[in-house]
Chains A and B, each alone.
Chain A
Amino acid sequence: MNEVVKVGMADLNVSKSPNSIRTSGLGSCVGVVIYDERMKLAGMAHIMLPDSSMAKNGGLNRAKYADTAITDLLVLMEREGANKIGLKAKMAGGAQMFQFSSSSEVMRIGPRNVEAVREQLKKHKIQLISEDVGGNSGRTIEFDPASFSLSIRTVSQGTREI
């Protein structure tokens, strides 16, 4: 039986073929998938904020921030047998759900999340294969570690694959 591994908000997990991995309702959050083609192994993180330095009051959930989430995801994947060299990535999300004239920090959080994920991938030398980011629609994404296909569903445009 194939299962779907669920990743919640500010959460991360890994999945091996034939099981797919999924996260739902990405708004300004970014869903990033890192995968090892040979092992048919994928890790996914549902990132809310660009950088762990934004945390207040200590209590740090590392899966919430682009920098710490990607570091931890790589550790978890290596433990599952992934080879750090040659990893690839896809990402989706980073939308602006509401249109405001103001340019406050909160309004720009989507693009900043996307930028932070790009930077982290570059830092870890992971090639970004494709992305579907920005816009103003929520997204639900599911990755199949066998076909390396990331399927993206939005309310207004149906499902597409990248």
Chain B
Amino acid sequence: MRGAEPDRQRWPEYLRGRASVCKEPRLARYFAAGTLDPQTPIGDATLVALDMETTGLDASRHAIVSIGLVPFTLNRICLAERRYWVVRPPRPLSRESVALHRITHSEVAEAPDLEAIFDDLLAELSGRLAVVHYRHIERPFLNSAIQGRLGEEFKFPVIDTMSLEARIHRQSLWARFRRWLGRPPVSIRLHNSRERYGLPPYQGHHALIDALATAELLQAQVANHYRPETPIGSLWS
């Protein structure tokens, strides 16, 4: 999936192109609204933190179980506008995944199929720049789910707080120096990244709480390493 990501600089072109050719009306609306100017300062951007729990790590074999999102800006995370859905995956849940995300068989059995929430989900994402921690889950899983049900590709720019953390902590001179000394790299997992900014530990593996945790992490990263004027085009992937 990584190879299929459009180049960071070319997101506006990709979105405009998709908007003009897309036949599925719901996706077309999203692409039309989602044309974000890469020059927009991060301080002015409307953002939405997104997280999902899945039955595994492979988008081609595993499915989405829950989705949480929290709209936010650099200044404020609005819990009142949060959304959370549990959805029924096409295949039954394995015991390991239940242990991890604590969503049980019975909860899933009563949940709707993902298709039933597309309208709502796409409306929430429209006109907002998504923020995730580790984009190689949210984006491919959504793409795979939408392609499977609507027959069209669905890709969108995201700010990946994990890759920002990697830039800061893995690609710096100090990080390379540490590696050269044979020290293990710092952890860029959500929990460990938050710790570095003095953010409180949260109970992980709940899509809504992880979305909130990701939003807080981006605020902290920008406060510490960027500026409100930093253009979103230099942060997204």
Specify whether A and B are partners.
no
A contacts, CB < 8 Å to B: none
